[in-house]
Amino acid sequence: MDINALFTDEGLRAFTSTVRDQHVRDAQQYGQIADIVRRRLEQTPIDGDRWMAKKLRAWKVSRQVKAMQKASEEAASKAEALYATYVNEVLELPQRRQLAAARKAERKQGRQAAAGAAVAKSLNKTVTALTGPTEQVPGAVSQARPAEFVAPDNPWNQWPMAAGGEQAPTRTINDYFANGDGR
């Protein structure tokens, strides 16, 4: 067998097919032999056997041949798995890597486009906010919230009044702590 031919698609396919077919034939033969051995031993009494001794002895012996059958079936499936793994991990790998690199580049371009759109939107908002809306009178200051009006009978007299009303004088720390004396 040429070892270099084994590392080609056709060479490995031929090898695994040959091995698989051999193991499948062996498994079939082992199954037939196990059935023959079991039936023959079930019908052959040995002096001193009790009522289930023949069947138990037949099962014990034929189970060894059944284990050989199972091992051959598993070897046949492993031969197919060898070929599938070789195709997946060796032959198709360069193509999968190229596809992955193309998808990665596409995602990167999409992220860059999204970031560019977000920056453009932010800049547009900034320009709009700095230039102000067209209906605003130049020089006027817009209020974030309406003025609060406090009733004149406010017991605390500390809140500022609305525009044009009286305001309490600004308090200092000395108003709160008598011992401060302005030091």
Percentage above 90 pLDDT, the chain: 44
Residue 16 near residue 83, CB atoms below 8 Å: yes
Model confidence at 167, pLDDT cuts 50, 70, 90, reads low
**CB atoms inside a 10 Å sphere around CB 80:** 13
Cα torsion for 66, 72, 75, 80, to the nearest 10°? -110
Q: For position 156, what pLDDT does the model report? A: 55
User: Residue 22: which of 65, 75, 81 has the closest Cα?
Assistant: 75
Most confident option among 37-46, 123-132, 145-154, 173-182: 37-46
CA distance 167 to 183: 27
What is the DSSP code (8-state) at residue 51?
T
User: Which string of DSSP letters, residue by residue, matches 130-162?
Assistant: HH--TTSPTTPPPPSSPPP---TT-SS--SPPS
* Average pLDDT over the chain, rounded to an integer: 82
Q: For position 134, what pLDDT does the model report? A: 55
Indicate the angle between helix axes 53-86 and 9-43, nearest 10 degrees.
180
What is the DSSP code (8-state) at residue 8?
S
Model confidence at 33, pLDDT cuts 50, 70, 90, reads very high
Q: What is the mean pLDDT of residues 89-110?
A: 92
Model confidence at 66, pLDDT cuts 50, 70, 90, reads very high
Domain residue spans in the chain?
3-91, 96-130
Model confidence at 74, pLDDT cuts 50, 70, 90, reads very high
Cα torsion for 24, 29, 35, 36, to the nearest 10°? 180
User: Residue 148: which of 164, 162, 158 has the closest Cα?
Assistant: 162
Q: What is the mean pLDDT of residues 86-103?
A: 92
Place of tokens 């004396």: 181
Q: For position 133, what pLDDT does the model report? A: 59
pLDDT at 117 over 80: yes
Model confidence at 153, pLDDT cuts 50, 70, 90, reads low
Q: For position 170, what pLDDT does the model report? A: 73
**CB atoms inside a 10 Å sphere around CB 38:** 20
Q: For position 182, what pLDDT does the model report? A: 54
Q: What is the mean pLDDT of residues 61-76?
A: 96
Q: What is the mean pLDDT of residues 66-90?
A: 94
